[in-house]
Amino acid sequence: MSEIEQLRHDLVIANRILAHEGVVDGFGHVSARHPENPARFLLSRSRSPELVTIDDIREFDLSGEMIDPDGSQSYLERFIHAAIYELHPEVNGCVHSHSEALLPFGITSVPLKPVFHNASRIGREVPVWDIATKFGDTDLLVVNMDHGRDLAKSLADNRLVLMRGHGLTVATEALHTVVTTAIYAVVNARVQTTAMQMGDVKFLSEGEIDAAISKAKKTTVGHKRIWEYLSRRAGCEDLLDS
Ligand code: MN
């Protein structure tokens, strides 16, 4: 299988994993930067992630336009992905979701911060982007490049940005890591919320977060193990390496 074919397969798996794990529902999406042409990215046509197949994957440019339009509908919020890839050359995978457990951290002054080892991948800091700051009253959706670029700018060099009253966007160096980061962000939000109800919370130190992220970048064993586990849970046996 060529690199691009493999990536299309992995993107379908990523869609199904995120749906199965409850990170996305009928809404939300995941994309990957094109491995040979960094000015393009792969994203499904407008379809619920759980139902995405290889035939649904389309290519887009960094202004959010579909390459070779075929009349199929695109996600309204594809500009999130376009602007993230445009402004962040090191990013190769992006997830946008509305995960319920994370929403409180976008509408209060309580910062989302890693509270356990596997959640260190969300990074030291999780900024909150408020569309109203620059654009006033909108329907809260990111529907053009101006919105997208403003969001991408507030991500800065972090791995996750909360979107006030809407959801979140995760952007990392690879498709596999963006999927696990999106999953563990939800778990961290749940654990942090529970812990805060119990009393004072001890967060990971910045040094612990940096050490965990740098170790994760050096090894592929853990990535393969979690990907295989998540793929099988999501019923993707037919799409795994054969
Ligand atoms: Mn959205």
Count CA atoms within 13 Å of residue 163 on its CB side: 24
Known catalytic residues? 77
pLDDT of res. 217: 80
The fold of the 3-240 domain, in CATH, is L-fuculose-1-phosphate Aldolase (3.40.225)
| Helix residue spans in the chain (DSSP H) | 3-20, 78-87, 103-107, 131-135, 145-155, 175-198, 206-218, 221-233
SS3 labels along 81-104: HHHHHHHCCCCCEEEEECCHHHHH
240: left (phi over 0), alpha (psi -120 to 50) or beta: beta
The reported pLDDT for the residue numbered 78 is 98
User: Which stretches of the chain drop beneath a pLDDT of 70?
Assistant: 241-242
CA 76–ligand 1 middle distance (angstroms)? 9
pLDDT for res 242:
47
Both structure tokens of 180: 């696990």
Give domain limits for the chain. 3-240
Distance 230 CA to ligand 1 centre (A): 24
Q: What is the pLDDT of residues 24-70, one digit of tens each?
A: 999 999 999 999 999 999 999 999 999 999 999 999 999 999 999 99
Q: How many angstroms separate the alpha carbon of residue 106 from the centre of ligand 1?
A: 13
Q: Which pLDDT does position 220 carry in this prediction?
A: 77
